[in-house]
Amino acid sequence: MTAALGTAEVVIWGVITFSILVVFHEMGHLLAARAFGVKVHEFMVGLPGPALRLHTKNMAWGVTAIPLGGYVRISGMEPGAEDELLGSALVVLRDHGPTDATGLASALGVSADRARSIALTLVDWKAVVEDGDRLTLGLSGELHSLDATGMADRARSTTYRGQSTWKRVVILAAGVVTNLTVAILTFTIVLSVWGYMQLTTTIDTVGVDTPAAAADVRAGDTLLALDSEPIESWDSFQLLMSRTEPGQSVTLTVERGGSALDLPLVLGDKDGHGYAGIGPTAVPVRPSVIESLGESVRLTGLVFRAIVDLFNPTTFASSVQGVRGPVGISVMAAEAAAAGPLSYAGLIAMLSLSLGVMNILPLPPLDGGKIVLEIAERVIGRPISRTISLGLSAAGAVLLFSLIGYIMYADIARLAQ
């Protein structure tokens, strides 16, 4: 497959596709942060590293040396409790003027390392301006009447950590909401304008020498149930089949000539799960805008269920067979781009939907996991320690990267066949 497309073409479309998806996601975080008056340092396309930057009045925009994905850096998102001397440091700079980290350490009576840490936090908050070794107060307005607590509150007010819990949750959830909105709107427009071919439960083809043929399943039969589980759509049939095993004996109930028939068959093997060897009849459908919106929401539910199954030990083996990782998605992107703008838009919508649903999961370092930590902090009434926060994120990252690594291995093995 990759040979027909060309490796360079697959790589290029993979990079473009992942960058589009992540830019949509990070733009959601950016817009939500700016809506609440939170300062944003930069919006970058690509992985962190050397970059070409365009500096505007409030932030920097750019492309990094590895333009895969992207990120937005929002002021005040560092984990853990604040240093209690942040406000005092601001008072020192207000009352005594610019100084360096050594002078700040002397004025606060702390070590140079702690003073540098305090300075870095305040620079991140844009409450202090750093010019070489020189630290200058960056706050404006009436400050002389404020004590250390008031100075810290003023500096914190335009940072992420200075916002109420519900605003933090909105900022974290905005990326997911953007991905889901892009997907649902794209699907709704495509379906209502161009329509689609709906796969029905009526059988169109029965493969030669397949389990279905051996069980006397015929074209024109309508699927009713699999092992007494009702089949309401072709999607539901595929979902049921994804949970079966090669060699498993099942009973397929079909309607033929107005009568229900129970047909026993022994499933074959396809991608590690059961295989019957039948194809559905497709009929053209041109839904209304409301119907298209409903179909888009239904598809969101199916994607959510499929992703949750990846984290269920009882369904992992069957679910992972139908999942594609970075390698497989890059191939799909190149194929969709070659097929035309409509196909590529549909793929972007599906991937945006998958990315949004994945990020809902309550697993650090995903957005859903960060939201859980924010709510936990509100419940216990204090910040979760930096060590615990980073530890949870590291554990979640290991799980996610292990899953991605396994899926990439499956991608490569599948392409090598």
Q: Is 311's pLDDT higher than 80? A: no
Q: What's the alpha-carbon Rg for the chain, to the nearest Å?
A: 27
Q: 0.75 exceeded by the pTM?
A: yes
Residue 4's pLDDT band (cuts 50, 70, 90): low
Least confident of 163-172, 257-266, 299-308, 383-392: 299-308
**Candidate from 101-105, 222-226, 337-341 with smallest mean pLDDT:** 337-341
What integer pLDDT is reported at residue 169 of this predicted model? 96
Distance of CA 267 to the CA centre of its chain: 35
Architecture, CATH, for domain 197-285 = Roll (2.30)
Number of Cβ within 10 Å of residue 143's Cβ equals 15
Distances, alpha carbon 178 to alpha carbons 21, 30, 287, 356, in Å: 10, 11, 24, 8
Q: What's the CA gap between 111 and 97, in Å, rounded?
A: 20
**Separation between Cα atoms, residue 192 and residue 51, nearest integer Å:** 41
- Confidence tier at 226 by pLDDT (50, 70, 90): very high
Ranked by mean pLDDT, which of 3-7, 90-94, 331-335 comes out on top? 90-94
What's the pLDDT score for residue 312? Answer: 72
| Whole-number Å distance between alpha carbons of 301 and 307 | 10
pLDDT over 80 (residue 201): yes
Biggest alpha carbon–alpha carbon distance for the chain = 93
Q: Name the least confident of 344-348, 374-378, 397-401, 404-408.
A: 404-408
Q: Angle formed by the axes of helices 367-380 and 341-360, to 10°? A: 30
C-alpha dist (Å) from residue 72 to 26, 49, 129 = 6, 13, 20
What integer pLDDT is reported at residue 320 of this predicted model? Answer: 64
pLDDT for 200: 94
Stretch 248-255: mean pLDDT: 94
Q: Is pLDDT of 298 > 90?
A: no
Q: Rounded mean pLDDT of the chain?
A: 88
> N- to C-terminal Cα distance for the chain?
10
CB-based contacts of 152: which residues, under 8 Å, 6+ apart? 82, 86, 87, 90
Assigned token pair, 50: 């050397």
pLDDT for the residue 277: 93
Q: Look up residue 23 and give its two tokens.
A: 């830019």
pLDDT, tens digit, 9 for 90 and up, residues 57-83: 889 999 888 877 788 999 998 888 899
Sequence-ordered alpha helix ranges (H) in 68-205: 86-96, 101-108, 112-124, 148-156, 165-194
User: What average pLDDT does range 250-261 have in this prediction?
Assistant: 94
Instruction: Read off the pLDDT of each residue in 135-141 and give the average, rounded to a whole number.
Output: 91
Q: How confident is the model at residue 209 (pLDDT cuts 50, 70, 90)?
A: very high
Q: Which two tokens stand for residue 177?
A: 């909401």
Q: Which residues pair with 222 in a beta bridge?
A: 202, 255
Average pLDDT over residues 268-279: 86
Distance CA 38, CA 57 (A): 15
Find which of 21-25, 107-111, 361-365 is predicted with most confidence, using mean pLDDT. Answer: 107-111
Average pLDDT over residues 195-201: 87
pLDDT in tens, 163-186: 999 999 999 999 999 999 999 998
**Residue 2 confidence (pLDDT):** 47
Distance separating alpha carbons of residues 356 and 341, to the nearest angstrom: 22
What is the reported pLDDT for 336? 86
Query: Of the candidates 312, 294, 46, 304, which has an alpha carbon nearest to the alpha carbon of residue 192?
Result: 294
Say if domain 86-157 classifies as CATH 1.10.10.10: yes
* Closest to 182 (Cα-Cα) out of 304, 15, 348: 348
Mean pLDDT of 224-230: 94
> Tokens at residue 403, please?
């899953």
> What is the three-class DSSP state of 151?
helix
- Model confidence at 417, in pLDDT bands (50, 70, 90)? low
Q: Is the pLDDT of residue 3 over 50?
A: no
Q: Say how far apart CA 97 and CA 110 lie, in whole Å.
A: 19
Q: Do domains 86-157 and 197-285 have the same CATH topology?
A: no
Q: Where along the chain do its domains lie?
A: 86-157, 197-285
Tokens of 320: 């992972």
pLDDT of 272 > 90? The answer is: no
Cα-flanking dihedrals φ and ψ of residue 360, to 5°?
-75, -25
pLDDT value at 210 more than 90: yes
Closest CA to 414 of 272, 303, 276: 272
